[in-house]
Amino acid sequence: MLNLDQLFAEFPTLETERCIIRPFTPEDAPAFFEVMRHEQVTRYIGQKPMASVEDAVARLQRFQRVHDQQEGMVWAVVLRETNQVIGNVLLWNLNPAHYRAEVGYILGPEWWGKGLMTEIVTRVLDFGFDTIGLHSIEAQTDPDNVASRRVLEKLGFVLEAHYHENYYDPTRERFTDTTVFSLLVQNWKGQKKP
Ligand SMILES: CC(C)(COP(=O)(O)OP(=O)(O)OC[C@H]1O[C@@H](n2cnc3c(N)ncnc32)[C@H](O)[C@@H]1OP(=O)(O)O)[C@@H](O)C(=O)NCCC(=O)NCCS
């Protein structure tokens, strides 16, 4: 069983070549709103684009509760070059008995297609497996979300399930499918990193 008190005693900052992955602060709300106000960002995550900075303030408070309740960690992704918040990455749905968690991620559209999220998730997977001691990490995505699927495939995630119309998307007002991917620690450690 993972020791959650030990794990949540500190909220680490992680680094990659181009990004700093750090805890959010309340001052990040306007920048996070800039990320979340685009329809193409929220299209596959069952949410409407944010309408105001207040929406971002409320979301950052929710992220803090996720941490306080030891359910997971939601980090801000900051571009080193400009010191700008450009998205988030999270490890949540922590299941300490089974050494498993789920990874999620969002990037503002301006920064898509540069390999950034693959770089960021690589660091978060190292943290999840090496520092937390997870055995497996899951990712759920809409099958139409080609970019997200590609990120997962580049990192060695394997498709394990395809649920049909298991999710009611209130923004698109229809049932949508979910694909479930997972990565085992031995496969992560045994492969060449992207
Ligand atoms: C998913 C997301 C984080 C990817 O971020 P990113 O930094 O652009 O990802 P990367 O550049 O590391 O990799 C994206 C890959 O998808 C590919 N890709 C993107 N759009 C594609 C498309 N329409 N068709 C085919 N491939 C596509 C890119 O070419 C790249 O693959 P490659 O390196 O083999 O060329 C970003 O698109 C995003 O934030 N989307 C909105 C939020 C979201 O859906 N999050 C995931 C929820 S599960």
Residue having the nearest C-alpha atom to atom 10 of ligand 1:
115
Rounded to whole angstroms, the Cα distance separating 6 from 14 reads 18
Rounded to whole angstroms, the Cα distance separating 76 from 2 reads 24
Q: What is the mean pLDDT of the chain?
A: 96
List, for residues 33-73, the tens digit of each pLDDT value.
999 999 999 999 999 999 999 999 999 999 999 999 999 99
Q: What is the mean pLDDT of residues 156-165?
A: 98
In degrees, rounded to 5, the angle at the alpha carbon of residue 114 between the alpha carbons of residues 192 and 72 is 70
Is the per-residue pLDDT at 140 higher than 90? yes
Residue having the nearest C-alpha atom to atom 12 of ligand 1:
115
List, for residues 79-109, the tens digit of each pLDDT value.
999 999 999 999 999 999 999 999 999 999 9
Rounded to whole angstroms, the Cα distance separating 81 from 79 reads 6
Residue 87: per-residue pLDDT: 98
Residue 193: per-residue pLDDT: 75
Per the structure, the complete domain to which residue 102 belongs is given by 4-190
Rounded to 10°, the helix 116-126/146-154 angle is 50
C-alpha 7 to ligand 1 mean position (Å): 30
User: In angstroms, what is the C-alpha Rg of the chain?
Assistant: 16
Q: Quote the pTM value.
A: 0.96
Residue having the nearest C-alpha atom to atom 23 of ligand 1:
146
176 within ligand 1 shell (Cβ under 6 A) = no
Q: Supply 12's token pair.
A: 């680490």
CATH number reported for the structural domain that contains residue 126 in this entry: 3.40.630.30
Inter-residue contact 80 to 46 (CB < 8 Å): no
Q: What is the mean pLDDT of residues 136-148?
A: 98
115 within ligand 1 shell (Cβ under 6 A) = yes
Q: Supply 79's token pair.
A: 């571009």
Number of domains in the chain: 1
List, for residues 7-29, the tens digit of each pLDDT value.
899 899 999 999 999 999 999 99
